[in-house]
């Protein structure tokens, strides 16, 4: 691969793909809206796909040459993906769209794979009306229609790692770094399924080089870690001296603490947990998706959080809960 176009490319996974491409010696161009600085060593083209006038100038620039690979992480209005696929279908050899396992009908069954039922295709494009899952599915369909066998759809699971802009791991680490007793949801051995964005970026480029097509659940194996392992590593690596106080899921429900939103990445045992953390993920594993030790992911995420960049990115993250709710949870023991 000598030419790589990343649509986005300035945050989290898109940035990891751009950096990995540059590391491998590709000429990398990122086309983005200009809200964040691009990685060093890549060429940036600024424009907004949601604005046809702004996109026209970008399209003119990008269609001057041939691209070995396009990687697209867009999560909003699917019309934006239709614009880019229409412009690039004759100018790109392959197109990879980073979708989400959210496109499966909720909740996906325990051990679901890429053949599980999907949400219903949307009838319109407005992401605020059709929802995240439907927007992602509509974008998948647009890529497949334009590129056919040259399309690769990556249905990402729980993404973690440095530069995470969703706050899932950083919110836990921020609380553990603050020290003191921390109420945490049991059972301690509840399994988590995740993937480090850097490992997914490396595999994305490998999958393109191998000529893979179709849909892949882009996440590590089920049982990748447990709540206890993840949080105990967080205590150790942040050095805040926190102590974990295990509570039953019912205590969090009684306190009004919501799974996933207030407890990032976590669902209690049951169908929702199985849908998020027990996908088969066998297809990607057979084609070489592996991930680094969790300790490295947690340590590197914390190290980034301690940089000026990381502090600025995490400054406005919501705390897990208020001091009053935390006291109530601790008293529930």
**Lowest-pLDDT range of 13-17, 54-58, 195-199:** 54-58
**Statement: residue 124 has pLDDT above 80:** no
Please state, as a whole number, how many other Cβ atoms lie within 10 Å of the Cβ of residue 27. Answer: 17
Q: What is the dihedral of CA 287, 199, 196, 139, to 10 degrees?
A: -70
Picking from 190, 112, 193, 185, the residue whose alpha carbon sits closest to that of residue 158 is 193
List the domain boundaries for the chain.
3-156, 165-193+221-278+292-328
Q: What is the pLDDT of residues 216-232, one digit of tens each?
A: 999 999 999 999 999 99
Q: What is the pLDDT of residues 210-219, one digit of tens each?
A: 999 999 999 9
Asked whether 236 and 206 are in contact (CB, 8 A), the reply is no
What CA–CA distances, in Å, run from 235 to 223, 231, 265, 292? 21, 6, 17, 20
Domain at 3-156: CATH code: 3.40.50.720
Q: What is the pLDDT of residues 250-267, one digit of tens each?
A: 999 999 999 999 999 999
Q: Half-sphere exposure (CA, 13 Å, Cβ side) for 332? A: 21
Q: In sequence order, what DSSP letters do the residues of 125-142 get, joined into one string?
A: --HHHHHHHHHHHHHHHH
Predicted TM-score (pTM) of the model is 0.96
Q: What is the pLDDT of residues 83-119, one digit of tens each?
A: 999 999 999 999 999 999 999 999 999 999 999 999 9
Q: In this structure, what DSSP letter does residue 161 have?
A: S
Asked whether 116 and 105 are in contact (CB, 8 A), the reply is yes
Question: Class for domain 165-193+221-278+292-328, per CATH?
Answer: alpha beta
What confidence score (pLDDT) does residue 127 get? 67
């Amino acid at each position: 691969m000598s030419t790589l176009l990343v649509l986005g490319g300035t945050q989290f996974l898109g940035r990891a793909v751009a950096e990995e491409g540059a590391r491998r010696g590709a000429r990398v161009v990122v086309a983005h809206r200009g809200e964040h600085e691009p990685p060093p060593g890549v060429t940036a083209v600024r424009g907004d796909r949601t604005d046809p006038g702004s996109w026209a100038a970008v399209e003119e620039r990008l269609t001057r040459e041939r691209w070995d690979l396009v990687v697209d992480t867009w999560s909003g209005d699917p019309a934006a993906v239709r614009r880019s696929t229409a412009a690039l279908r004759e100018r790109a050899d392959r197109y990879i769209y980073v979708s989400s396992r959210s496109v499966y009908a909720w909740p996906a069954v325990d051990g679901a794979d890429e053949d599980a039922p999907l949400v219903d295709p949307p009838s319109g494009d407005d992401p605020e009306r059709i929802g995240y899952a439907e927007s992602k599915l509509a974008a998948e369909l647009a890529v497949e229609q334009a590129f056919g066998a040259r399309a690769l759809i990556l249905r990402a699971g729980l993404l973690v790692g440095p530069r995470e802009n969703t706050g899932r791991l950083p919110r836990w680490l921020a609380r553990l770094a603050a020290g003191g007793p921390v109420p945490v949801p049991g059972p301690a051995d509840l399994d988590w399924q995740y993937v480090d964005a850097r490992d997914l970026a490396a595999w994305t480029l490998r999958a393109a080089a191998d000529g893979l097509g179709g849909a892949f659940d882009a996440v590590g194996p089920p049982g990748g870690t447990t709540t206890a392992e993840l949080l105990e590593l967080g205590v150790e690596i942040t050095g805040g001296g926190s102590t974990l106080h295990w509570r039953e899921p019912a205590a969090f429900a009684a306190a009004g603490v919501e799974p996933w939103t207030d407890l990032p990445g976590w669902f209690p045992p049951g169908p929702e947990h199985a849908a998020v953390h027990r996908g088969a993920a066998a297809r990607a594993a057979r084609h070489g998706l592996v991930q680094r030790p969790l300790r490295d992911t947690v340590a590197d995420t914390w190290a980034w959080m301690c940089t000026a960049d990381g502090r600025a990115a995490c400054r406005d993250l919501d705390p897990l809960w208020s001091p009053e709710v935390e006291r109530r949870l601790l008293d529930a023991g």
